[in-house]
Amino acid sequence: MKPTLQTRRKFLRTSALGAAAAWTLPVFLEKTFFALDAMAADSLTQTVTGKDNSILVVLQLAGGNDGLNTVIPFADDDYHRARPKLGLAPDKILKLDSYIGFNGKLTGLKALHDDGHLALVQGVGYPNPNRSHFRSTEIWQTATDANQIASEGWLGRYFDNCCSGADPTVGVSIGDQMPQAFAAKTPTGVTFSRPEQFRWKASTGTDGKPLSGEEAFYRQLIGQTDETPPSDGNSIAALPGKTQTGTSTEDFLRRTALDAQISSEKILAIARKYKTNMPYPATQLGASLSLIARMIGGGLPTRVYYASLGGFDTHAGQIGSHERLMTVLNDALTAFVADLRQQGNFDRVLLMTFSEFGRRVAENANNGTDHGTAAPMFLIGGKVKPGVFGKHPSLTDLDKGDLKFGTDFRSVYASVLEHWLRAPSQLVLGKKFTTLPIV
Amino acid sequence: MLSQLPRSRWDERAAAHLLSRAGFGGTPEEISNVHAKGLERAVHDLVESGPAAYEVAPPEWAHPRDLRELRQEARMAKERGDNSKVREVRKMEGDELLDLRRWWLGWMGATPAPLVEKLTLFWHGHFATSAEKVKDGYWMWRQNDTLRRHALGNFVSLTKAMSRDPAMMIYLDLPQSRPEHPNENWARELMELFTVGIGNYTEQDVRESARAFTGYRLDLATQQSYFAPRQHDAGPKTFLGRRGNFNGDDIIDILASQPACAQFIGRKLCRYFVADEPEAALVNSVAASLRAHQFEMKPVLRELFSSNEFYADSVVRAQIKSPVQFTVETCKLLSCDLPAAPIAQNAMRQMGQVLFAPPNVKGWDGGKSWISTSTLLFRNNFANYLINGDAMLPPANRAKPGDPGLRTGARAAIAQQFPRAPIDVNKIAPPELRADPEKLVTQLSQRVFQTGAAPEDLAAFTSFLEQRNGDTNDVTVRGLLHLMMSTPDYQLT
């Protein structure tokens, strides 16, 4: 994981421009290359080999997970007072100590805790909490202060600062839309949900075979030529983005097309070669984590994977729906961990959960809970320093009916960046945050 | 103030731009016709479509039912251990939604008044409501009908109509709001997403306005909304610095009177019709126009579509097509039918825009967020399917489930149930044109890229034909079209 200096200028001359000259590449690409080349600056680059690096998996629980029914302060009478209907009975709680316990559906997470592979950070939030899903999600994704707007995401800034020159698959999000956390000056990372479909298909000729020449021309049109083989780890994604000539919509489209083409071959090859025999639950999250495990097992040179589970906005009729979500989460994570263990990759992976906010302490009139503030985060991995970090927030010392946070989420990010990804957190987060000994 | 486009700048390129932004694009013939009308007439015809444009015949199943009875029956059957009723209701919901999507997408392609549909889509994204929560086809259709009737009308009236719209009410929990427990969901989104935007109200304003929107009720037996005075908190409220016994309509009127409201709606209109990051001066002009016309949409749009700013070089062909635009426009350009309903629905899901199911109450973000490596490849492959039909699939896979692109997992063999033939190439490339490969490339790229491709791209397309030894049979022309529609440039409109 030693940062190596790579001369991007040299790379550009040798591969991209060389290719452009060798082919009658459309002028737009040449222009892009020249302009970007002029702006290019040498920078710290983390080399990625795919086989030995630490990997971060970020799991978003979208909609605002009810922290108080995930990690339950069962010994606190105020919990039961605030939640006469939604409060969980002792037989639905897996006790960690004499004060808190996991939701009864989180049996796999409890086992990971007992084995020493799970860290729980309590009361995570940020100052001046915002109760809008969108704004609060944006705050978590961009890691800014609540009153600041940023267009780049925190992982995007990590890619920009520490992974420039890397393969586009350095960041992989499972789904159809790139998470805002990935937004970077240089568009980095790929998004897909099904490897078999993640591929450009040529038209079929009358003989039932792909139309000869079409694929080659498609590659030419998007700027991929034989001189820039897909496996060399260098793509347009290596170029800086927001230059003065930079991210026009057209440039953005070209980079995405090129990234898609370069990475799709690699991803498809891994998907074909590497199958898992681990049974995963038949849920969207199960499918996402199984795919991530296949990519890890196949050695895709990825530092950050991103997946999400939605449905946590439990304003009404929460009991059944939240228990179902806990089951979905638990079962998918349990299979994922077992799969990684079987691969021998559990020590290389750290999985972190987050949600845009927790929910109000008191239940509402519709057997649900409204938007709140601080909530717990889980970190799971073979090398995680286990335990419970931070104090459980008080249920009586509230801010407008909501929990007061104890740990800033950016402290957790900083810990992951510094101790796991070995990246300078201040550069990525714009500020120094205290780190926790979680890895 | 917006400046008027000089007559000298009204050319085919401008006409093509107007047709693609205020509608779903046009064929070369349509572009010529619009150009020949002149700017004023062209804009007038788009904005002033006759009453028929607003009276779209509903799908035949779209009428109110006694939902209370229907749901009660299903519940009772379930209690007896009979889940068939529940499944039946769910299947009906699914079938109706599928048909509703077919109905609207089809009408977007067929309508003589595309601006009405384009704005209905804008308002659908603005007052985003998802069938995932509403779970009823009639209510979703009815909201669409209401959005259409107000699409080019008055924004304030539309907002009031939405506060009484059953689908919206369900989506934002309005019927559950009681004087003793006002639900804040609708009140908050009304301010944050529908009128003034975040930062222009306080938490106190959310709580007070939530009280004003109590008493809005739904009758499940008739599927109609009504006002229940006894469930309404008629007491005095303090809202945005004013005090009075406000009801919901009063709250909406107060919000519309805030300068932030015209600014918020103006910016959103600019983002939809002009550019992802519209210039501040443009937004200010449109906001001023909204205020001057008391939120009447027609005069505002007439000004916008006649303005220099709308036709600026930096604006033309610089917007990423939404999946709806991509689908409707591509079929228009290829002169082919839309794909079968289940295929279209699945394709829209893959591209990230399922009608009647926006991802959340914020609607679709649009712009660059439409494009990821995943959606971009899908668009390319979808164009392949639209052009080549089932022939895009290798023969061995054509009838197998779960294979490339366009089928939904275990439900399988949709291609068998809904076969699709390749396009009729002669419709857009007649034999006499095919005799001259260079001319063929020029004309097809004129059609596909509206105003033609860059010379370098033209050269690349021509050399593709050369590599095929100048052979311009149907298969090659379809390959050429697919190549054109796979370029980054084709994603733009």
- At residue B317, the pLDDT reads 93
pLDDT band at B161 (very low <50, low <70, confident <90, very high): very high
Q: Give yes or no for residue A52 having a pLDDT over 80.
A: no
Identify which of B381, B393, B457 has the shortest CB distance to residue A26: B457
Nearest C-alpha neighbor of B482 from the set A315, A363, A213 = A213
pLDDT band at B414 (very low <50, low <70, confident <90, very high): low
In the block, which residue shows the tokens 């001046």?
A128
- At residue A223, the pLDDT reads 66
Instruction: Summarize the confidence of residues B275-279 as an average pLDDT.
Output: 94
Q: Do B372 and A28 touch (CB under 8 A)?
A: no
**What is the number of helices (H) and of strands (E) in chain B?**
25, 4
Reported as a single tens digit per residue, the pLDDT across B194-221 is 999 999 999 999 999 999 999 999 999 9
Contact (CB, 8 A) for B442 and B472: no
Instruction: Summarize the confidence of residues A258-284 as an average pLDDT.
Output: 87
- At residue B454, the pLDDT reads 75
Which region among A48-52, A115-119, A143-147, A188-192 has the lowest average model confidence (pLDDT)?
A48-52
For residue B392, the distance in angstroms to the closest alpha carbon of chain A comes to: 5
Which region among A191-200, A216-225, B42-51, B427-436 has the lowest average model confidence (pLDDT)?
A216-225
For residue B487, the distance in angstroms to the closest alpha carbon of chain A comes to: 7
Which region among A156-160, A220-224, B20-24, B388-392 has the lowest average model confidence (pLDDT)?
A220-224
Q: Give yes or no for residue A43 having a pLDDT over 50.
A: no
Q: Do B374 and A222 touch (CB under 8 A)?
A: no
Instruction: Summarize the confidence of residues B362-386 as an average pLDDT.
Output: 89
Reported as a single tens digit per residue, the pLDDT across B138-150 is 999 999 999 999 9
Contacts of B464 in chain A (CB under 8 A): 213-214, 217
Q: Do B373 and A263 touch (CB under 8 A)?
A: yes
Q: Do A134 and B362 touch (CB under 8 A)?
A: yes
CB neighbour class for B299 (10 Å; exposed up to 12, middle 13-18, buried from 19): middle
In the block, which residue shows the tokens 């479509």?
B49
- At residue B349, the pLDDT reads 86
- At residue A225, the pLDDT reads 54
Maximal C-alpha separation, chain B: 82
Q: Do B403 and A134 touch (CB under 8 A)?
A: no
On whether any CB of chain A is under 8 Å from the CB of B488, the answer is: yes
Q: Which residue of A has its CA nearest to B390?
A: A204
Nearest C-alpha neighbor of A107 from the set A93, A119, A117 = A93
- Distance between the two ends of chain B, CA-based, in angstroms? 26
Angle at B272 between CA B268 and CA B273, to 5 degrees: 115
Higher pLDDT, A420 or B369: A420
Q: Give yes or no for residue A231 having a pLDDT over 60.
A: no
The residue type found at A27 is: V
Q: Give the E-state strand segments of A221-333 in sequence order.
A: 304-309
Contact (CB, 8 A) for B420 and B339: yes
Average pLDDT, chain B: 91
For residue A23, the distance in angstroms to the closest alpha carbon of chain B comes to: 11
Give the three-class secondary structure for A45. Answer: strand
Instruction: Give the strand pairing for A101-103 and A55-61.
Output: unpaired
| Alpha helices per DSSP H over A27-82 | 27-39, 77-82
d(CA A204, CA A182): 36
Contacts of A211 in chain B (CB under 8 A): 475-476, 479
Contact (CB, 8 A) for B158 and B123: yes
d(CA A393, CA A101): 14
Q: Do A249 and B487 touch (CB under 8 A)?
A: no
Contact (CB, 8 A) for A156 and A188: yes
Q: Give B186's Cβ-side CA count (13 Å radius).
A: 32
Q: Which residue of A has its CA nearest to B461?
A: A217
Reported as a single tens digit per residue, the pLDDT across A27-39 is 333 333 333 333 3
pLDDT band at A176 (very low <50, low <70, confident <90, very high): confident
Q: Give yes or no for residue B331 having a pLDDT over 90.
A: yes
Which region among B144-148, B314-318, B390-394, B432-436 has the lowest average model confidence (pLDDT)?
B390-394
> DSSP state, B61?
T
- ipTM value, please give it: 0.90
Q: Do A257 and B488 touch (CB under 8 A)?
A: yes
| Alpha helices per DSSP H over B308-413 | 323-334, 341-351, 373-388
- At residue A41, the pLDDT reads 30
pLDDT band at B462 (very low <50, low <70, confident <90, very high): confident
d(CA B106, CA B328): 8
Each domain of chain B, given as residue ranges in start order, spans: 7-47+258-311, 323-417, 425-491
Higher pLDDT, A22 or A169: A169
d(CA B196, CA B265): 8
Instruction: Summarize the confidence of residues A56-67 as an average pLDDT.
Output: 97
Structure tokens, A207: 């003989």
In the block, which residue shows the tokens 């499944």?
B87
Residue B54 gets the label, from left (phi > 0), alpha (psi -120 to 50) or beta, of: alpha
Q: Count Cβ atoms below 10 Å from residue B436 Cβ, excluding itself.
A: 13
Contacts of A32 in chain B (CB under 8 A): none
d(CA B436, CA B480): 14
- At residue A2, the pLDDT reads 32
Q: Which residue of A has its CA nearest to B359?
A: A310
- At residue B114, the pLDDT reads 97
Q: Give yes or no for residue B28 having a pLDDT over 60.
A: yes
Identify which of A133, A203, A254 has the shortest CB distance to residue B488: A254
On whether any CB of chain A is under 8 Å from the CB of B435, the answer is: no
Question: b/e per residue, A237-254, with b = 16+ CB within 10 A?
Answer: bbbbbebeebbebbbbbb
Average pLDDT, chain A: 82
% of chain A at pLDDT higher than 90: 55
Higher pLDDT, B65 or B467: B65
Helix, strand, coil in percent for chain A, rounding step 5: 40, 15, 45
pLDDT band at A51 (very low <50, low <70, confident <90, very high): low
Scan residues 462-481 of B and list those with Cβ closer than 8 Å to A. Answer: 463-464, 467-468, 475-476, 478-479
Higher pLDDT, A52 or B190: B190
- At residue B42, the pLDDT reads 98
Axis crossing angle, helix B137-150 with helix B155-163, rounded to the nearest 10? 160
pLDDT band at A137 (very low <50, low <70, confident <90, very high): very high
On whether any CB of chain A is under 8 Å from the CB of B380, the answer is: yes
Residue B66 gets the label, from left (phi > 0), alpha (psi -120 to 50) or beta, of: beta
Q: Give yes or no for residue A40 having a pLDDT over 70.
A: no
Identify which of B198, B464, B491 has the shortest CB distance to residue A135: B198
pLDDT band at A97 (very low <50, low <70, confident <90, very high): very high
